[in-house]
Amino acid sequence: MQVFAIRHGETAWSLSGQHTGATDIPLTDNGRRLAERMRPVLAKTAFELVLCSPMRRARETCELAGLGERAVVDPDLMEWSYGEYEGLTPDQIHKVTPDWLLFRDGCPGGEIPEQVGARVDRVIRRLRAAAGDVALFAHGHVLRVLAARWIGLPSSGGEHFLLDTGTLCVLGYYRNVPAVRIWNGPLIDPSAAVAHSLPESTRAITHDRYDAVLFDLDGVITDTASMHALCWKRMFDEYLRERATRSGEAFRPFDLSSDYRLYVDGKPRFDGVRDFLESRGIRLPEGRPDDPPQVETVGGLGNRKNGLVNAVIEEKGVKVYEGSVKLIRQLREQGFKIAVVTSSQNCITVLKAAKLDKSFDALVDGNTVRAQHLAGKPAPDTFLTAAQLLGTEPNRAVVIEDAISGVQAGCNGSFGLVIGVARKGNAEELRQNGARLVVSDLGELVDSTQPPTPRRPDAPS
C-alpha cells in the first residue's frame, strides 16, 4: 500500500510567498499546466481511494490530474489555519515577530502544530485502513505535517520536509516500517520509488544534445556559499555598525536570508557591495580594486570581505559536495568538456584546497571578469566566455547554478539547459528564474547503473 500525496499547483499567492489557508484562490495558468502533467503519471496506478481538500486549488489539481470524478472531499486535508497571518509573507510576519516559527509557534487566531497534527492523524488512520493505494490532493504545510506524523515524528517535524507546488510525494513502508519513498519529487513514473532512482534526471546530460557543462563553484561544487554569506554578513554588519555610531542612525544588520539572496549571491564582489549598499540608500565612492580593507569605498569593503574569506579557507579548508564530485568524474569519463564559472576571485584557492584544481578544462572567475571587463551575473557574459574557451556554442552547453542571478544568466545566454541546485529549499524560485531542471544535489544526475570506465588521471577522486 502506498500513499501518493500531491501538493496543488502554483497559485498567485504561492508565487508571492503569502500564507494561503482559507483564502480560496484558483491555480495560475502555469499551475494548471503542472497539474495536467500529473495525469499520465497517476493513470498508471489503480487507486482504491482518492481524497482531496475542499479548497479550489486542490480540487482543480485533482480534476486536471484525471481523478476528479473519484475524489472524496476530506475537510481534515485543509491547509493550516493561519489566523491573523493569512495572506502575509514570512518577511512581513518577522518584522513584527522576528523569532516566529510556524512549526513551533503556530498562528495567533489560527492553529498550533498539535491541532494540525490531530487532523492529520485522522487522515492517516483512514489511509492505513485502505487495502490499496491512495491518492490525496492537499497543501504544502498540512502535507509536511502528514509526512512527519506518517513516520512517527511530532507535528513540528514537518519543518524538515520542504515542498514545492505541483510535486508528487510517495509514502509507504520499508519492511513494515512507515517510510518516505519519494519527497518533493519531479513527475516521474512512481515505480521509480521502488528502485530509489530518478531516471529522467540521470538522462538529462547526453552527447546527442550537449558537448559541455559549465559549473558554478560556491554552493554547487563546494560548500563555500554559506562561508561567503557569513563573511558578507560580518563585513557589512561591522561597517553598518560603524556608520550608525558615526551618524546616530539605527543599526540594521545584514539579513542572511533576504539581503544575501537579493543583492549579493552569485554576483562579482564589488557589484555585491554596491547593490546591497544602494538598497540601504548608501552610495560610496568606487575607489580602486586594490583599495586597502580599511578604506570606505566599494573596493575597500569588497577587499575587507575577501580577506575574511581567505582567513576562513586557510583556517578551516574547503568542503566539497560528494554528489558534485561524482558528476564531474562521470562527465569527464564520458568526454564532456567542463568549466568552472564563478564571480569569486578566490576560485583557484578554493579549487586547490578542495583538490579539484586539475579537474576542469577552463576557468572563468572574478579575476577574468575584472581583466576582461565582463558584466557579472545575471548578465550571461561569464558563461558565454567559458563556452567560447571550450569551443562550444551556448545551445550545446549546460549551465549548473544554485543562485537566482546564475540561473538568470544561463537563461539570458540561451544555453541549451539550465539546471538549478536547490540546496536552500528554493526549487520553485529557481524554476521561476530560468532553471528547466531542478535537483537538490548533483548526485541525482549521476547514472549509478552505468558501468565504471577507466578514470582520467586528472579526474577527482
Please report the pLDDT score of residue 449 as a whole number. Answer: 52
Please report the pLDDT score of residue 432 as a whole number. Answer: 87
- The class of domain 212-223+319-445 in CATH terms is alpha beta
Give the mean pLDDT of 175-182: 89
Active site residue 74: no
Give the mean pLDDT of 292-303: 94
Give the mean pLDDT of 255-261: 85
Active site residue 271: no
Please report the pLDDT score of residue 198 as a whole number. Answer: 38
Q: Under CATH, which number does the domain 3-195 receive? A: 3.40.50.1240
Given a cut of 90, whether residue 426 has pLDDT beyond it is no
Residue 453's pLDDT band, with cuts at 50, 70 and 90, is: very low
Please, is 218 exposed, middle or buried when counting C-beta atoms within 10 Å of its C-beta (0-12, 13-18, 19+)? buried
Please report the pLDDT score of residue 160 as a whole number. Answer: 93
Q: Of 165-174, 262-271, 309-318, which one has max mean pLDDT?
A: 165-174
Q: Is the pTM of this model over 0.75?
A: no
Q: What is the pLDDT of residues 95-145, one digit of tens each?
A: 999 999 999 999 999 999 999 999 999 999 999 998 889 999 999 999 999
Please report the pLDDT score of residue 324 as a whole number. Answer: 94
Annotated catalytic residue: which of 74, 76, 133, 218? 218
**Residue 390 and residue 362 in contact, taking contact as beta carbons nearer than 8 Å:** yes
Q: What is the pLDDT of residues 318-341, one digit of tens each?
A: 888 999 999 999 999 999 999 999
Return the amino acid letter for 219: G
Please report the pLDDT score of residue 186 as a whole number. Answer: 58
Residue 450's pLDDT band, with cuts at 50, 70 and 90, is: low
Give the mean pLDDT of 436-442: 90
Q: Quick one: what percent of the chain has pLDDT higher than 70? A: 93
Give the mean pLDDT of 227-234: 88
Residue 134 β-bridge partners: 3, 49
Phi, psi for residue 256 in degrees, rounded to 5: -65, -30
Please report the pLDDT score of residue 448 as a whole number. Answer: 60
Average pLDDT score over the chain: 88
Give the mean pLDDT of 266-282: 90
Q: Do domains 3-195 and 212-223+319-445 have the same CATH topology?
A: yes
Residue 203's pLDDT band, with cuts at 50, 70 and 90, is: low
Given a cut of 70, whether residue 188 has pLDDT beyond it is no
Domain boundaries, the chain: 3-195, 212-223+319-445, 225-316
> Which of 9, 135, 11 lies closest to 74 in space, CA to CA?
135
**3-state DSSP of 143-202:** HHHHHHHHCCCCHHHHHHCCCCCCCEEEEEEECCEEEEEEEEECCCCCCHHHHCCCHHHH
Annotated catalytic residue: which of 216, 259, 291, 381? 216
Residue 460's pLDDT band, with cuts at 50, 70 and 90, is: very low
